[in-house]
Amino acid sequence: METYDKIRLYRELNQWSQEEMATQLHMSKNGYAKIEQGKTRLNTDRLKQIAHIFGVSVTELISPSNLIVFGDGNYHNNVNSYNGETALTAENEKLNLIIKHQEEIIKRQQAQIDTLESLVKALQDKNT
């Protein structure tokens, strides 16, 4: 999955519009849309800013195809790529991101439940 696909997925998981993301990044909606379309090359500062907004690390956003590999340049020879493997890998990454996001939502909801339970207990203690 490409970096721009991950950015779009995180935005969709958070149920934010492109306009909302553009506002958070202090840029135009069209400028942000180009990021999600892969038409804009992201610099490190912009990647950090996007990662911070989503609450993830920069490495979670970076696609392996965007990494710079040092060496003799023959690293591609060690990669076996089968016709559907890339699509399967991308789908697995997408599902893992969805699972992670759902776990974060559950964690936040549990914290809210705990807070509400302590408030109810405090009110009950006050009334007795």
**Is the confidence at residue 4, as pLDDT, over 60?**
yes
**Is the confidence at residue 23, as pLDDT, over 90?**
yes
pTM: 0.53
Q: CA dist 121 to 6, 109, 111, 113, Å?
A: 42, 18, 15, 12
- Secondary structure element (H or E) that encloses residue 107, with its range: helix 85-127
Measured distance CA(114)–CA(79) in Å, rounded: 48
**Conformation bin of residue 38: beta by default, left when phi > 0, alpha when psi is -120 to 50:** left
Between residues 89 and 15, which one has the greater pLDDT? 15
pLDDT tens by residue, 32-69: 999 999 898 888 889 999 999 998 888 888 866 554 44
| Measured distance between the N- and C-terminal CA atoms of the chain, rounded to whole angstroms | 58
Place of tokens 């790529």: 81
**Conformation bin of residue 28: beta by default, left when phi > 0, alpha when psi is -120 to 50:** beta
- Region 17-25 average pLDDT: 94
Q: What is the mean pLDDT of the chain?
A: 80
Q: Which of 68, 91, 65 is nearest to 79 (CA)?
A: 65
Residue 30 is predicted with a pLDDT of 94
Contact 10, 56 (CB under 8 A): yes
Residue 65 is predicted with a pLDDT of 54
Cα angle 95-100-105, degrees, rounded to a multiple of 5:
125
Residue 75 is predicted with a pLDDT of 37
pLDDT tens by residue, 59-89: 888 866 554 443 334 433 333 333 456 667 7
Residue 8 CB neighbour total at 10 angstroms: 19
**Is the confidence at residue 1, as pLDDT, over 90?**
no
